[in-house]
Structures are given as structure tokens and as C-alpha cells.
Amino acid sequence: MTATTATTKLPLRSEVPATDCWDLSSLYETEEGWQADFDKVASQIDRFETYQGRLGESVDTLLEFLTFDLEIDRLAERLGTYAFLRTSEDQGNSDHQARKLRFQNLVMKASQAASFVRPELLAIDADKMDAFLADPKLADFKLQLERIVRYRPHTLTDREERLLAMQGEMSGAAGNAFRQLNDADLKFGDLTDEHGRTIELSHATFSQFLQSPKREVRKAAFDQYYEVFDNHRNTLAATLAGSIQRDVYYARARNYESSLEASLFPDNMPTTVYDNLISAVRDSLPAVHHYLDVRRRKMGLSDLHHYDTYVPILSDVKKHHTWDQAVEVILESLAPLGSEYVGTLESGLRGRWSDRYPNRGKQSGAFSCGSFDGDPFILMNFKEEVLNDVFTLAHEAGHSMHSWYSASHQPFQYYNYTIFVAEVASTFNEQLLTAHLLERATDDTERAYLINNELDGLRATVVRQTMFAEFEKRTHEMAEAGEPLTVASLRATYRELLDAYFGPDFVVDEALELECFRIPHFYRAFYVYKYATGLSAAVALSRRVLGGGEAELNDYLNFLRGGCSQDPLDLLKGAGVDMTQPQAVKTTLDHFADLTKQLDELI
């Protein structure tokens, strides 16, 4: 048979069938509807000024302001969600970019107009504020006000807050530059896969190439992909350094001891949770190194490179899922969560919650984007031959159902759960999917394949994300100490971590150091640790639900319904896991070690 040489190109957005795209009509049915709400918010910004200097005059005045502010926030969320989703579906569309920029400018103006609020609330006499908080009229806003009072040591004067608010758009310049370069401007060329097909190499197809059973294809994809980043290393280092310096600046301006403390403060999260995670994973790295050696041996390789770590060890096991097949197996796996959960999710995934497949200019990766007044949308770049995409869909579905439950059971001001607990809901779904697929496995080969997939998932989510978290911590500490953030220093820092996390018997290619310049999450620092802590909590909670009864299920569903009505650690304690202790992380890593032994025995 003669191999085909036809080039497979990503379709234009206009060429994608509507049934494969999300339906944003739950947000806005027309552009005119979006514009009408935009104009409404714009016309109300001056109203903030009428409350300045009056927030402490009476309970009634404060209630009136908080109700007005909530209405503006709710409209702004709706406007912003729509603008963001339209931009993410086609980064090259100038109309979408213009809409997003107009919204960002509107938010900046509103932030400036409302910059007096926190300082004025914090200037209210403590006894008077206590009396306000005890008044039943403010019951719906009591927790919101208490959380504001927490920020007293980190809130500046009215003039200083206004200056910081004016910097909002400017402070995002580094991240915006990275996203435009990474998602729209970088071109990686074409590559021939193991079947002789010429396919465009992109962020979306890179993972597909890395799962090729042919090592020369994996290596070619790795080399070609990172050559592009090497060609832009100075620009990328500058944008990353700019983002880190921004974090340090704002932390210092607001009187935090460090940028890490500043980032964890909104969740009322002690820095020990972050440090305990790194310590627990570091202590378990020998188990990770053991797994990598098992992978090398089972793949019949004399050495192991990064591009060898994504392909299934049992490459002859074929796992192909159409969209509908992926949805079906996910729904089956989530049956223990009850008919309401499964029925709602089925309606969304078989309907148009999700933007399913890659197209030219579309944002890479996957995400869930829920809002109070719209459907909890999911962006995917789904590929039928990549099993991990089924897990990604289950993961994002966890986020979306968390949004659905919290919006259905909490008022607007308490529905928007924090990322820390969000990663529990998403990885919980992955745990149930793994358990379901292992139950359905028909032989040891398939079981080994699934265990391998589970191991790779744990390594990617707990170990890899913790490495990222340590990189963020170290680079921010470098900036705080006045050390220069250059191409050389950033690469050297990342190289030290690569050597430690992959071990002495792993071949770390020099090009892999460039990975530190391409991770979008680094522009939202101290975020990725939540993946690792979230999965650790999810492992514990999934075992609790699967091994329990109605009470354990209700505990978990109440956690999903909780939104941000409690602090994250308290929400998790109510669900059945205490993340102030390292036990959940250690248990997960012990599970990793046990799975490695099982895999070694099965194949």
C-alpha cells in the first residue's frame, strides 16, 4: 500500500459545522444583545461616585451599594465570558479581539471608579462594622464583607488603590504578548506521521505526535517543536520575566511577605500547604524514577527521553473514541454520582456546551468556563485517537458540573468556587473514569494499558505540576532577591528541576529546558500546585464515594453545591478530606508506587 502524502490542514473557523461548536446563546443570542449590556454597564460606572464617602453612613446605604455593585459584577461576568469565549475560538479574528479589548477597557474604568470601596469599608470603625455585620439586612453579604475586612493589612489608601487600578491593562501586557505569540504567531510547519501522512504540527497535534509508536516520529516532533521556541527564546524569557516581576511588584505594594503569600491569601491558604506538597513529592521521587525505569525497560529502550514518556508502553493496544463514544463512556463512569448529575451532563455534552475540535486560530488545550447566567462551556481540541482527550473531557466536565451545581444552589456572590477546589471536582471525574475502565478491562494487556495511563496521569498531575510549582516558587524568590531573570538563569533553574524530578538515568535533552518558556500557566503564577493538591484530594474522595453510601455521596454533592460559601479547606473537610495535613498527597504517591509494581508484573 502506498502511503498518502496529502497534507492535513486545520479548518478555518467558518468551515467548522455548527453542531461541533458551542452555542453561546445562553449568554447572548446576538451581538446587539451584548452591546446593549455593554452600554448599560458603561452608563452605570459614574454611579459609583455617588456612593463615595457614604458607605459607612448606614446599613441601608451600604445595602443599596452592595446590591448595585452585585448587579454590575453579574453583568460584567456575562459580558466578559462571552468576549473571552469568542476570542478563544479564533484568536486571529480581529472583531473578537476588539470586543475583548473593549471589555477590558470597560473593566479598567469600572475598577478605577470603584477603587475607593475597599479602603472606605476598611476605614469604617471596627465596632460600627461589627454592628453592620450583625444586622439581618446585610445577611446576604455578611461573608463577603468579612472577607473584605481580612484584607485590611493589604489595602492601600484611596489614591494608591486608584493608581493600582489604572495599571490593570498594562500589568497584563506580558501575558497578552505571550498568548498572541504562542497561540497565533508561532508556526511549527508540517510533519510526517507513522502512517506517512503529512500533518500540520501545532500545539493541538504535538501531543498526538508524542504518542506515536515510532520513536523517530516522536523525536522529530520534539525537535521541530522546540526549535521554534529556541528561535524566540529571548522574547519568551522577557515576557516570562515581566510576568514574574509584575507579581513581585503587586505583592510588595500590598505589604505581603512574598508573592507566594499574596497568591495564596485569597483562599485563606497557609503557605505550608504549598511547601508540604513540594516536600512530599520530593520525598517520593525514587518511586517516580522507578516508574521511568520500568517504562524504559518495557519499551525496550537503552535510554529514555522526554519524548518517550507520553506514548503508551503497550503501543499495540488501540483506543479510539469518537466524540459520542467518549461521552458515553464518561457518563457510564459517573453513574455513581446519581441521575441528576449524569442527566444534566449528558444534555450538555450531547448538546452544545462544548466546542469540540481544533480549528485554525483556536486557543490550544482545553478549559471549562462557567458563568452564573450561561451554560458551563467547555473548550476542547478533541482527537479521536488520543485516549488522554477522553480523560480531558471528563476533567473539564467536572469543572462544568461544579459550575452548574454551585450556580444552582448559591447566590451570585457565593457561587464562584475557587480554583483550589475546582481541581478536586475535575480530577475526581478522572478517578471514576479510570476505575470504570479497569472494571471493564477484558485481559491483563488492557489492564496494564489502563494502569499505565493512570500512572502517566498521576505523574503529569501530581509530579509534573509540583515541579512547575517549585519552578514558580524559585523564580519568584529569585526576583524578590534581586537576581536577574534571563534566558540563561531561567533555563538553569529549570534544568536543575528536570534533573531532580526525572532522575539520574533519564536523558534530559538540552531543548527540554525551553519548556519553561511555553507553559501558559506560568503567567498565572502559583496556580498549578492546585492540580496536584486537587488530585490528591480527589483520590481520597473518590475512594470515599465509591466505597461508601448515600451519606458519602451527599457529602460530595454538597461540596459541589458549596461554591465559595466557605473557605476551600473547610469545604474539603466537609466533603471528607483534610488538606492541611500531607496525608492525602502521601497516599496518592503510595498509590503511584503500588501501580508501578502492578505494571511491572503484568507486562
Residues 179, 365: Cα–Cα separation, whole Å: 13
Backbone angles phi, psi at 246, to 5 degrees: -60, -45
Residues 41, 35: Cα–Cα separation, whole Å: 10
Nearest to 70 by CA among 346, 507, 410: 410
| Residue from 89, 120, 161, 396 carrying the catalytic annotation | 396
Burial readout 77-90 (b: 16 or more C-beta within 10 A, e: otherwise): bbbbbbbbbbbbbb
Which one-letter amino acid corresponds to residue 441?
Answer: A
Nearest to 202 by CA among 9, 484, 405: 9
Residue 549: which residues within 8 A CB-CB, separation 6 or more?
none
Which one-letter amino acid corresponds to residue 325?
Answer: Q
Which one-letter amino acid corresponds to residue 553?
Answer: L
Q: How far is CA 493 from CA 477, 485, 547, in A?
A: 12, 10, 43
Backbone angles phi, psi at 19, to 5 degrees: -65, -20
> Active site includes 396?
yes
| Cell numbers placing 503 | 532522575
- Give yes or no for a contact between 585 and 533, defined as CB atoms under 8 angstroms apart: yes
Q: Label the pairing between strands 374-379 and 354-355.
A: parallel
Q: Label the pairing between strands 374-379 and 367-371.
A: antiparallel
Residues 6, 379: Cα–Cα separation, whole Å: 28
- Give yes or no for a contact between 285 and 584, defined as CB atoms under 8 angstroms apart: no
Backbone angles phi, psi at 578, to 5 degrees: -105, 105
Residues 467, 521: Cα–Cα separation, whole Å: 13
Residues 328, 309: Cα–Cα separation, whole Å: 28
- Give the residue numbers marked as catalytic: 396
